[in-house]
Amino acid sequence: MRNFLIKLGTIDRKFIFVLIALAVLIPLLYPNLIELPIKVDKNTKIVFNSISELKSGDKVLLSFAYGASTKPEVHPMAIALLKHLFAKDIKVYIVSLWPESPIMANQAIKEIIDTKLFNLEEGVDYALFDYKTGGFIVIKGIAENFREVYKQDHNGNLIEDLTIMDDIYSVSDFDFVFDFSAGVPGNAEWVQYACDPKKIPLSSGCTSIMVTDAIPYIESGQLKGILAGMPGAAEYEKMVYDLLQQQLNKNSNLNKDAVLTKGKALARMSAQSVSHLLMVIFIVLGNVSYYFSRKNN
Amino acid sequence: MSYNFDIIGVWSLVIMTLSILSYLYGDNPFYKAAEHIFVGVSAGYIFAITWWDQVWPNLFGRLFPDYVKAGFEFDGLYIIPLILGLFMLFRLIPSLSWLARISIGYIVGMAAGLKIYVFVNSNILMQIKNSSINFDGSIWSILNQFLVLIGVISGLVYFFFSKEHKGTIGKISKIGIYFLMIKFGASFGFAVMGRISLLIGRFEDLIKYSSEQFYFATPIIFIIMIVVLFIWSTQNDNKEKTN
């Protein structure tokens, strides 16, 4: 047994790659094979409640700061949040702070329109703005004077001609700011340059790797909860799905004939859990093997 | 799927994904080609989008408003960023490269000035305020805040190098190390979760594009790659033997 454990420590890493690949592939190919329960985290609940407290006609600024590489983690939360906002008839303004973000924002809006859940009109219910380079400079610009940074929407329409832009001059004219980010600029820049100085509630949905850096902002109330990576997205999707299912026949903002579908992050969680379990087993076995090999030497 | 361009896009996506994943086997021509294409395409895309979405409307739109028609009025002050931008390009001419330092100096100074205030406000003052204990809360919230306070103080003591870490200072800094280790452990766990999420995203696409609708892109490219890699590695082995 002892020799076997020592030998395990010298196993070819390609074998581990194959096992990880299988741990991800099998739950994706057979989603009903392993169904693990999802417990909603406290921070996801805070985000959900903060959005639920907004009123019809309120204005929410969404910052898209992620690209294709982090799409699996962040995109499902963007879809779920947009559904939640449009179900409450909230006006949505999308700015892009990463070069690929306009593509992500367009895809998210298209996916929402394709669900046929809402009757949306661009320029009235939502507005999309092109990518601006500069990171935190753009955030500071939005905080001070939105119209100095953006003169046109992504279709080239002057913002003076858009009804949705009436009374929007700076970040103070928004009721809530939500940041989707995968790096810099991200939630830290929104806290520092816009929402702390102007006292605007801010929440964030970000990649897993950013979560530990954002925790101090959550504890201090500078961020109203957080959607933490894929599990955060899955939890939020579940909450929004349950809410829309309850409201489908009662809410006038929802098309009754539309078919509600569960989000993508929920389906991915089994693969996430199984692969994590496998990683934990590897770490334990690796440590045991290392312990015995050190003892032998 | 009305246009064949979609199929070309799907096949390119599958080739690029499998080429990057082929690095798990080892450094190989597929991986190298995908890496170079990625760098080139990214640079080209970022240049084009920065030019058309930022430089053209925001800079030239203010200098030549009637020509660019970006909604701005003429503003002569924008000649300064134009000159600073041109100075940056002088880095390519060795005799004039010193001019780029003026632009870099402006960027560094401006960024530092902007950052100092917001950092002190959001990351220091607000965090100090929230590290205090609110004794009106429940016993659990007081305990939680007490733990945070211990973590903050011991963590700061660990990074205090003006006094040798011995005696009481040593003990407190050791507690700080444990808090830091917990933070690093959590960061590692989140990092693993993030990477697995990305892998799930790639595998989902590969599964989706393995259907008949996309002319079995994934299995066909996968098999071709394995065959090519096998031939390539055998040739490499033969070369090594003859050398």
Supply the DSSP string of A236-248, one letter for each residue.
HHHHHHHHHHHHT
In angstroms, the Cα distances linking A5 to A18, A23, A281, A285, A290 are: 20, 22, 13, 7, 9
pLDDT of B1 > 80? The answer is no
How many residue pairs from chains A and B have C-beta atoms closer than 8 A?
131
Q: How far apart are CA A185 and CA A179, in angstroms?
A: 10
Do B54 and A133 lie within an 8 Å CB cutoff?
yes
The H or E element containing residue A213 is helix A211-219
Which amino acid is residue A287, in one-letter code? Answer: N
Residues of A in contact with B54 (CB under 8 A): 131-134
Cβ atoms of A190 and A179 within 8 Å: the answer is: yes
Q: How many residues does chain B have?
A: 243
Cβ atoms of A163 and A153 within 8 Å: the answer is: no
In this prediction, residue A272 carries a pLDDT of: 92
Q: Which of B49, B54, B203 sits opposite A24 (nearest CB)?
A: B203
Cβ atoms of A78 and A166 within 8 Å: the answer is: no
Residue B210, classified by CB atoms within 10 Å of its CB into exposed (0-12), middle (13-18) or buried (19+), is: middle
Cβ atoms of A170 and A61 within 8 Å: the answer is: no
Residues of B in contact with A136 (CB under 8 A): 114-115
The long-range contacts involving A251-259, CB below 8 angstroms and separated by at least 24 positions, are A251/A87, A253/A86, A253/A87, A253/A88, A253/A89, A253/A118, A254/A87, A254/A117, A254/A118, A255/A116, A255/A117, A255/A118, A255/A119, A257/A116, A258/A115, A258/A116, A258/A117, A259/A115
Tell me the two tokens of residue B195. 């990477």
Q: How far apart are CA B99 and CA A100, in angstroms?
A: 32
Q: What is the pLDDT of residues B73-131, one digit of tens each?
A: 999 999 999 999 999 999 999 999 999 999 999 999 999 999 999 999 999 999 998 88
- Interface ipTM: 0.89
Residues of B in contact with A130 (CB under 8 A): 53
Cβ atoms of A115 and A261 within 8 Å: the answer is: yes
Q: Which of A14, A211, A271 sits opposite B200 (nearest CB)?
A: A271
Do A228 and B186 lie within an 8 Å CB cutoff?
no
Q: How far apart are CA A244 and CA A83, in angstroms?
A: 9
Radius of gyration of chain B measured on its C-alpha atoms? 28
Cβ atoms of A33 and A25 within 8 Å: the answer is: no
Q: Which residues contact B174 (CB under 8 A, 6 or more apart)?
A: none
Minimal CA separation from B46 to chain A, in Å = 6
Residues of B in contact with A133 (CB under 8 A): 50, 53-54
In this prediction, residue A183 carries a pLDDT of: 93
Q: Which of B58, B130, B196 sits opposite A24 (nearest CB)?
A: B196
Residue of A nearest to B186 (CA): A212
Q: How far apart are CA B172 and CA B165, in angstroms?
A: 9
* H helix intervals, chain B: 4-21, 29-50, 61-63, 65-68, 79-89, 99-118, 126-130, 139-158, 167-208, 217-242
Q: What mean pLDDT value characterizes chain B?
A: 93
In this prediction, residue B3 carries a pLDDT of: 60
In this prediction, residue B132 carries a pLDDT of: 86
Order across the sheet with A126-131: list the strands. Answer: A126-131, A91-96, A59-65, A176-181, A202-206, A226-228
Q: Which of A28, A191, A212 sits opposite B200 (nearest CB)?
A: A28
Tell me how crowded residue A122 is: count the other CB atoms within 10 A of its CB. 16
Residues of A in contact with B191 (CB under 8 A): 208-209
Tell me the two tokens of residue B147. 């733990």
Which residue, among B200, B205, B209, B233, would best test binding to A if mutated, counting the most A CBs under 10 Å from its CB?
Answer: B200
Between A31 and B186, name the one with better pLDDT. B186
pLDDT of B2 > 60? The answer is no
Q: What is the pLDDT of residues B128-174, one digit of tens each?
A: 988 888 888 899 999 999 999 999 999 999 999 898 999 999 999 99
Do A211 and B200 lie within an 8 Å CB cutoff?
no
DSSP state letters, B50-104: HIIIIIIIIIIHHHSHHHH-SSPPP-GGGHHHHHHHHHHHGGGSGGGTTHHHHHH
Q: What is the pLDDT of residues B33-84, one digit of tens each?
A: 999 999 999 999 999 999 998 899 999 999 999 999 888 999 999 999 999 9
Tell me the two tokens of residue A293. 């090999």
From first to last of the 297 residues of chain A, give the pLDDT tens digit: 888 888 888 888 889 999 999 999 999 998 888 777 888 999 999 999 999 999 999 999 999 999 998 999 999 999 999 999 999 999 999 999 999 999 999 999 999 999 999 999 999 999 999 999 999 999 999 999 999 999 999 999 999 999 999 999 999 999 999 999 999 999 999 999 999 999 999 999 999 999 999 999 998 999 999 999 999 999 999 999 999 999 988 888 999 888 888 888 888 898 999 999 999 999 999 999 999 999 887
